[in-house]
């Protein structure tokens, strides 16, 4: 449970405890021990908020309606508590992580709420303190004034009234905050609370794919398995085809290399033949010239076997 959720339950517990302190109402927690009352009140607060079958706002509003019969001046305070509870619940139900601007707005809302509570706890009944209501479906939000929570009666003057006591115990004391807490301390508390909530959402976003896979039906698992096997078979065939293509490419390259080598050898052979033909052609031409010369210079007879050219 994050501190944001715990803060939500603290606000709800204030309403329950104040309700049970009034006379003439149906008590929700029948315990005499104060520590048990506080514990059981918080358990009930959680149960009401997390009950998906009922609207927690309507449930708490009905409790608030019962309370002010003897103290009608406290209805605005209790309604303010419920409004902040409802606004905070919308944020807690946020499914995605916050953007930087949303996170800053979230933090400022917590700070404004705590400052409002500090103001009420340090203000006497009969006088008012300005607080900030945050926007909800039934409230446009904005500044308003509420009566202080310090009693002014003769016997209890200067002490906190019941609503002030419950607010102090369930919220301020629980988070080690008091009237002397500085703005810096409130800011630090709000920063830690909001960042813890943000981190929880970020972790959920990272683990969601794995969780989604784990909750798939058996049919979906089977379909995925079949698809994976088909993919592997396609990959296997593709690898075989690639290997064959690589072999064919190698053979073609080898054949090309041999043809290139044969072509080079053939060119050399042709060149030798051309040189031989050229040589023989030259010899034929020389013989023709020699034959022509012999015809123009006949041999003188009478000298037997040896002729004499004159």
Taking the C-alpha atoms of residue 186 and residue 179, their distance in angstroms, rounded to an integer, is 11
pLDDT by residue for the chain (310 residues), tens digit each? 899 999 999 999 999 999 999 988 899 999 989 999 999 999 999 999 999 999 999 999 999 998 867 677 789 999 999 999 999 999 999 889 999 999 999 999 999 999 999 999 999 998 999 999 988 877 888 899 999 999 887 777 779 999 999 999 999 999 999 999 999 999 999 999 999 999 999 998 887 665 555 555 666 667 777 777 877 888 788 787 787 878 777 777 777 777 777 777 777 777 777 777 777 777 777 777 777 766 666 555 554 444 444 4
Q: What are the CA-CA distances from residue 93 to residues 105, 248, 262 (Å)?
A: 16, 63, 81
Using alpha carbons, list the distances in angstroms from residue 45 to 64, 67, 162, 303: 14, 17, 18, 156
- Closest Cα to residue 79, out of 62, 61, 97? 61
Residue 147 and residue 129: Cα distance in Å, rounded? Answer: 6
CB 109 within 8 A of CB 90: no
Torsion angle (degrees, nearest 10) of CA 145, 148, 152, 157: -160
SS3 177: coil
Distance of CA 151 to the CA centre of its chain: 49
How many other C-beta atoms can be found within 10 angstroms of the C-beta atom of residue 88? 21
Contacts of 88 (CB under 8 A, 6+ apart): 4, 7, 8, 11, 109
Distance CA 91, CA 190 (A): 14
């Amino acid at each position: 449970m994050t501190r944001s959720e715990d803060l939500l339950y603290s606000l709800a517990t204030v309403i329950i405890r104040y309700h049970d302190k009034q006379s003439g109402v149906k008590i929700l927690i029948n315990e005499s021990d104060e520590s048990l009352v506080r514990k059981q009140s918080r358990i009930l607060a959680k149960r009401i908020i997390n009950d998906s079958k009922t609207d927690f706002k309507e449930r708490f509003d009905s409790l608030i309606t019962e309370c002010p019969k003897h103290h009608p001046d406290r209805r605005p305070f209790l309604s303010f508590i419920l409004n902040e509870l409802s606004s905070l619940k919308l944020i807690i139900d946020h499914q995605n992580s916050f953007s930087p601007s949303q996170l800053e707005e979230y933090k400022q809302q917590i700070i404004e709420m705590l400052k409002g509570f500090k103001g009420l706890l340090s203000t006497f009944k009969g006088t008012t303190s300005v607080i900030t209501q945050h926007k909800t479906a039934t409230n446009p939000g904005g500044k308003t004034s509420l009566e202080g929570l310090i009693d002014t009666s003769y016997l209890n003057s200067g002490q906190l009234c019941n609503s002030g006591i419950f607010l102090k115990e369930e919220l301020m004391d629980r988070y080690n905050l008091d009237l002397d807490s500085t703005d810096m301390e409130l800011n630090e508390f709000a920063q830690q609370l909001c960042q813890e909530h943000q981190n929880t959402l970020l972790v959920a976003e990272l683990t969601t794919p794995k969780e989604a896979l784990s909750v798939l039906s058996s049919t979906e698992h089977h379909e995925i398995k079949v698809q994976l096997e088909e993919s592997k078979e396609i990959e296997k065939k593709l690898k075989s085809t690639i290997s064959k293509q690589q072999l064919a490419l190698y053979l073609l390259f080898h054949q090309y290399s041999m043809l290139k080598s044969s072509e080079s050898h053939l060119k050399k052979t042709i060149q030798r033949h051309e040189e031989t033909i050229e040589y023989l052609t030259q010899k034929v031409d020389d013989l023709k010239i020699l034959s022509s010369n012999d015809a123009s210079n006949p041999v003188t007879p009478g000298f037997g076997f040896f002729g004499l050219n004159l």
